[in-house]
C-alpha cells in the first residue's frame, strides 16, 4: 500500500526497492510483518529498469530481428516495471514510501529513517533497517569526449536508433553482452580493454574463446590499451597504443560499478563502510545493531541472484530467532552473450594458488560432441578444476548454448559436496550438451579408479603443501 503511519514502529524499514530490497520486503511480509519500503527512484531498481531485464530483452530483440529493437526493449521493460510497482502499491503488508532516505543514530529500541519525498520530509520508525541502495556505474573522463556521446547502462536503452559505430570500453560482462547485441543489430563494434585479455576475472580459455568469437564476426578487440582522447571534429577515438577508431557514434563505458552510498548519512549513524561499500557479514549484519545491508551496496555480490540469496539469509536473521550458522550458498555467474558464459566455484586465482599436485583439470569441447555436430556449433566448452581422488568441484566454467542453465548442475554439486566421482554413470539425454558433463565424469573415473592409492597419496601430499602455504 502507499504511505505509512509515522507514529507506528514497523518491523523493518527497507531502503531501496531493487532486487535485494524487494526480496527483503516480500520475505518479511510473508512472515506476517508490516514493513516500510522506501524508494526514491523506480521500483525494481537497476535490474528491472537499466540492467538485467532490458539488456536481455535487447539481446533477444537483436537476435530475432525486431524492427524497432530499442523501442521494443523499452516497452518490455516498462511493462514489467509497472507491474512490480503496482504489486508494491497494492500489497497489504508492504507500505511503499517514495523518497530519498537518510539514517539517524539509533533512538532507544528503534531506528528512525528520514525520507525526503515529494510532499516534504517524513519519519519512518522501525525495529530494523535494511540498506539496499545498489550501485552506480563508474564513468571515466576522456579528454574531448562529450557527455552526449557517452553511454552507460543507465542511458543506453534510451537510444532512439542503433549507432553505426560503437566503442565499448572495458572487457567485462556489460561490454561482452552489448557487443553481442549491437553486433547482431549491425553496428560496427570495437572493444577497448586495458588488460591483456577479455573477461579478466574468468578462465583464460573464456578470454581466448570470446575474442575468437567476436573477431570471427568482424568486431575489433583492442587489448592492453585505453582511450587517451577523443577528437569530436572527426569523431575519432585515439588509443594509448597509437591506434585510432574513426566515425565513432557512441562510447559505452563498462569498466565497473561502485556502491551507491549517496547521502544515506551512514557515518553519522555509526555504520562502518569501506571503498567496497557497507561492511556486512553473510547474514547482512552491519556494525550497528538492527541495521542490515544486502546487495551491491555491500560489495558481497554484484548480481541480482546474489542479492536475492543474501537477502533471503537476512530475512531469516530478522524473522527467525535461530542460531546464525551455516555458510551462504555458492553463487554462480552468467553472461548472456552468444555463446553464453557461466561459471561457479572458487576464483581462478584461488584455484591457481592451490598445490598443483592436488587438483586436476578436465576440458571438453562442445564442438566434439554429437549435439555440437548437429547444431554446427563453432565455439563452446566445459572446463572443470577438481580435487584429485574425490572429484570435488573446485571451479567449473561453461561457454556455449544455455550455459546459464547448465551451470546449475555444478552449483548443486558444490553446494551438496557431489564430486565427479559420484557423478560417474549418471545418464544424460542424447543428444544434449549436458552429455559433456558425463564425458568429463567418465574421464575422471577412468584416471582415478585405475590408480586409487596413487591418487589418494597425491591429494594428501598436496593438502599438506597447502597448509604450509597458509
For residue 108 the three cell numbers come to 532507544
Residue range 142-153: average pLDDT?
96
For residue 206 the three cell numbers come to 573464456
Q: Is residue 224 in some structural domain?
A: yes
For 356, the domain range is 339-469
**DSSP, residue by residue, 108-162:** TTBEEEEEEETTEEEEEEEEEEEE---EEE-----BT--GGGEE-TTTGGG-SS-
Strand (E) or helix (H) holding 446: helix 435-449
Same domain, yes or no, for 132 and 263? yes
Q: Is residue 101 in some structural domain?
A: yes
Same domain, yes or no, for 119 and 219? no
Provide the 3-class DSSP secondary structure of residue 455: helix
**CATH code at 365?**
3.30.390.30
Same domain, yes or no, for 179 and 149? yes
Residue 240 DSSP label: T
Predicted pLDDT at 470: 60
Predicted pLDDT at 460: 86
**Averaged pLDDT score across all residues of the chain:** 95
Closest CA to 126 of 25, 2, 44: 25
CA dihedral (17, 21, 27, 28) in degrees, to 10, reads -90
Q: Is residue 332 in some structural domain?
A: no
Q: Tell me the C-alpha distance between 279 and 294, whole Å.
A: 10
**CATH code at 217?**
3.50.50.60
Same domain, yes or no, for 250 and 294? no
Same domain, yes or no, for 62 and 153? no
Same domain, yes or no, for 91 and 69? yes
- Return the minimum-mean-pLDDT range out of 127-136, 187-196, 318-327: 318-327
Q: Is residue 14 in some structural domain?
A: yes
Predicted pLDDT at 465: 80
* C-alpha of 293 from chain center: 17
Same domain, yes or no, for 115 and 146? no
Which distant-in-sequence residues (6+ apart) come within 8 Å of 162 by Cβ?
69, 70, 182, 185, 186, 187
Domain final position from 205, 237, 255: 255
Predicted pLDDT at 321: 85
Predicted pLDDT at 457: 78
Same domain, yes or no, for 277 and 383? no
8 A C-beta contact, residue 380 and residue 372: yes
Domain final position from 319, 352, 371: 319
Residue range 406-426: average pLDDT?
94
Same domain, yes or no, for 76 and 143? no
Q: Is residue 144 in some structural domain?
A: yes
Q: Is residue 329 in some structural domain?
A: no
Residue range 290-315: average pLDDT?
95
Q: pTM (2 decimals)?
A: 0.94
Q: Tell me the C-alpha distance between 392 and 251, whole Å.
A: 43
Provide the 3-class DSSP secondary structure of residue 25: helix
Q: Tell me the C-alpha distance between 438 and 32, whole Å.
A: 45
Predicted pLDDT at 313: 97
Same domain, yes or no, for 453 and 345? yes
Q: Is residue 151 in some structural domain?
A: yes
Q: Tell me the C-alpha distance between 88 and 66, whole Å.
A: 32
Q: Tell me the C-alpha distance between 228 and 242, whole Å.
A: 9
Give 403-409 contacts, CB < 8 A, sequence gap 24+.
403/334, 403/339, 403/340, 403/341, 403/342, 404/334, 404/336, 404/340, 404/342, 406/342, 406/382, 406/433, 406/434, 406/437, 407/332, 407/334, 407/342, 407/343, 407/344, 408/332, 409/434, 409/437
Predicted pLDDT at 454: 83
Q: Is the pLDDT at 456 greater than 90, yes or no?
A: no
Predicted pLDDT at 109: 82
Same domain, yes or no, for 188 and 158? yes
The string over 98-119, giving b where at least 16 C-beta atoms fall within 10 Å of a residue's C-beta and e elsewhere, is bbbbbbeebeeebbbbebeeee
Domain final position from 215, 230, 255: 255
Provide the 3-class DSSP secondary structure of residue 380: coil
Same domain, yes or no, for 355 and 243? no
Domains of the chain: total? 3
For residue 436 the three cell numbers come to 559433456
**What are the backbone dihedrals phi and psi of residue 151, each rounded to the nearest 5 degrees, phi first?**
-115, 145
Q: Is residue 325 in some structural domain?
A: no
Closest CA to 419 of 389, 439, 398: 389
Amino acid at each position: 500500500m502507499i504511505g505509512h503511519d509515522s507514529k507506528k514502529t514497523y518491523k523493518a524499514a527497507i531502503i531501496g526497492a531493487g532486487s535485494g530490497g524487494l526480496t527483503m520486503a516480500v520475505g518479511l511480509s510473508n512472515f506476517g510483518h508490516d514493513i516500510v519500503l522506501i524508494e526514491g527512484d523506480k521500483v525494481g531498481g537497476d535490474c528491472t529498469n537499466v540492467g538485467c531485464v532490458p539488456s536481455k530483452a535487447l539481446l533477444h530483440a537483436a537476435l530475432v530481428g525486431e524492427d524497432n529493437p530499442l523501442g521494443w526493449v523499452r516497452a518490455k521493460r516498462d511493462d514489467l516495471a509497472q507491474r512490480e510497482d503496482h504489486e508494491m502499491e497494492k500489497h497489504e503488508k508492504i507500505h511503499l514510501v517514495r523518497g530519498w532516505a537518510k539514517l539517524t543514530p539509533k533512538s532507544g529500541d528503534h531506528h528512525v529513517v528520514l525520507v525526503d519525498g515529494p510532499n516534504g520530509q517524513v519519519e519512518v520508525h522501525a525495529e530494523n533497517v535494511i540498506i539496499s541502495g545498489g550501485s552506480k556505474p563508474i564513468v571515466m573522463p576522456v579528454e574531448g569526449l562529450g557527455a552526449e556521446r557517452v553511454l552507460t547502462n543507465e542511458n543506453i536503452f534510451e537510444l532512439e536508433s542503433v549507432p553505426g559505430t560503437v566503442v565499448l570500453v572495458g572487457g567485462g560482462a556489460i561490454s561482452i553482452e552489448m557487443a553481442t547485441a549491437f553486433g547482431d543489430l549491425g553496428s560496427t563494434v570495437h572493444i577497448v580493454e586495458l588488460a591483456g585479455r577479455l573477461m579478466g576475472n574468468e578462465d583464460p580459455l573464456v578470454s581466448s574463446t570470446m575474442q575468437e568469437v567476436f573477431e570471427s564476426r568482424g568486431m575489433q578487440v583492442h587489448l592492453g590499451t585505453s582511450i587517451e582522447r577523443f577528437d569530436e571534429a572527426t569523431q575519432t577515438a585515439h588509443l594509448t597504443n597509437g591506434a585510432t577508431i574513426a566515425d565513432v557514434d557512441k562510447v559505452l563505458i563498462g569498466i565497473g560499478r561502485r556502491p551507491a552510498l549517496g547521502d544515506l548519512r551512514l557515518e553519522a549513524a555509526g555504520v562502518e563502510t569501506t571503498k567496497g561499500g557497507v561492511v556486512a557479514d553473510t547474514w547482512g549484519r552491519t556494525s550497528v545493531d538492527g541495521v542490515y545491508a544486502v546487495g551491491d551496496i555491500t560489495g558481497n555480490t554484484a548480481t541480482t541472484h546474489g542479492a536475492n540469496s543474501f537477502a533471503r539469509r537476512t530475512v531469516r536473521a530478522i524473522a527467525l530467532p535461530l542460531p546464525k550458522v551455516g555458510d551462504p550458498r555458492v553463487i554462480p555467474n552468467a553472461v548472456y552473450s552468444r555463446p553464453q558464459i557461466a561459471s561457479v566455484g572458487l576464483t581462478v586465482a584461488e584455484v591457481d594458488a592451490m598445490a598443483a599436485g592436488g587438483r586436476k583439470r578436465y576440458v571438453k569441447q562442445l564442438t566434439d560432441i554429437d549435439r555440437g555436430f548437429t547444431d554446427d556449433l563453432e565455439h563452446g566448452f566445459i572446463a572443470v578444476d577438481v580435487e584429485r581422488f574425490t572429484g570435488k568441484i573446485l571451479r567449473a566454467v561453461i561457454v556455449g548454448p544455455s550455459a546459464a542453465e547448465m551451470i546449475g548442475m555444478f552449483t548443486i554439486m558444490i553446494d551438496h559436496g557431489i564430486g565427479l566421482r559420484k557423478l560417474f554413470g549418471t545418464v544424460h539425454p542424447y543428444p544434449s550438451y549436458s552429455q559433456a558433463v558425463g564425458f568429463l565424469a567418465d574421464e575422471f573415473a577412468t584416471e582415478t579408479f585405475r590408480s586409487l592409492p596413487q591418487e589418494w597419496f597425491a591429494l594428501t601430499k598436496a593438502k599438506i603443501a597447502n597448509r604450509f602455504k597458509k
